[in-house]
């Protein structure tokens, strides 16, 4: 039986709809299924300011929790978005990340959220993956980014989960479910969303598939977004 009973999805201004809501919806669906089995998984969403929160595409998302400094969850999930750069210098957010890691709790991220984890210091000495937009900048700042870059990477020893850009949000979330709750739960979830038939057992692995982005397109993404996602 998993010791994971709570997961919180962090919000901040200009968060990405996809990076936030895809994993949130999958875990929310998982919690709904668990409830019918007499199991409990608390899934919350919110930031340090009252909602709703405006995303980087202008959608407003209703939240269900306003964070306080002493809040703790079994899993803290930091999504990406154009607001990731500002979040990476937000002292409340960085301290929340640090405290969760220091207390042995899971910290997960995708896209520019990996930059938030990097700025918090919890990735020091850890092997990670990241989005194409940060794949050039992070190594120059001292991060140990997997090469070749992977769609996601589970560091179970340090309880850190990093994943690539928003396009991997569904796949990487299924892999995270497999890590927390086992392959049966992950397979059932993926089957309901019809991703199991598309991607099969790759969804259940601790390391995702190789991200093979053409060099010229990777450079274009980096030129456009690396300083937005992780400014000096």
Q: What is the CATH number of the domain that holds 178?
A: 3.40.50.880
Q: Is residue 1 part of a domain?
A: no
Task: Please report which confidence band the pLDDT of residue 2 belongs to, taking 50, 70 and 90 as the band edges.
Answer: confident
Global pTM value: 0.98
Instruction: State the average pLDDT for the chain.
Output: 97
Is residue 144 within 8 A of residue 153, CB to CB? The reply is no
Q: What is the pLDDT of residues 17-70, one digit of tens each?
A: 999 999 999 999 999 999 999 999 999 999 999 999 999 999 999 999 999 999
Pairing of strands 53-54, 60-61: antiparallel
Q: How many domains does the chain have?
A: 1
Placement of tokens 């998984």 in the chain:
41
Q: Is residue 108 part of a domain?
A: yes
């Amino acid at each position: 039986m998993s010791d994971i009973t709570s997961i919180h999805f962090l919000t901040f201004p200009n968060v990405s709809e996809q990076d936030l809501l895809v994993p949130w919806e999958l875990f929310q669906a998982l919690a709904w299924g668990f409830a019918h089995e007499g199991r409990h998984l608390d899934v919350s969403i919110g930031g340090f300011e009252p909602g709703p929160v405006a995303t980087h595409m202008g959608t407003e998302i209703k939240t269900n929790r306003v964070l306080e400094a002493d809040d703790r969850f079994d899993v803290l999930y930091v999504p990406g978005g154009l607001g990731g750069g500002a979040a990476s210098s937000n002292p409340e957010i960085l301290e929340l990340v640090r405290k969760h890691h220091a207390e042995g709790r899971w910290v997960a991220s995708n896209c520019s959220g990996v930059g938030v984890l990097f700025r918090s210091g919890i990735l020091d000495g850890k092997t990670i993956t990241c989005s194409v937009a940060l794949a050039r900048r992070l190594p120059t700042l001292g991060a140990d980014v997997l090469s070749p870059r992977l769609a996601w990477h589970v560091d179970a020893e340090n309880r850190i989960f990093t994943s690539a850009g928003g396009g991997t949000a569904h796949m990487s979330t299924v892999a995270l479910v497999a890590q927390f709750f086992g392959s049966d739960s992950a397979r059932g979830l993926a089957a309901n969303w019809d991703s199991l038939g598309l991607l099969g057992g790759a969804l259940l692995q601790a390391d995702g598939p190789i991200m093979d982005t053409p060099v010229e397109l990777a450079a274009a993404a980096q030129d456009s977004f690396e300083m937005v996602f992780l400014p000096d």
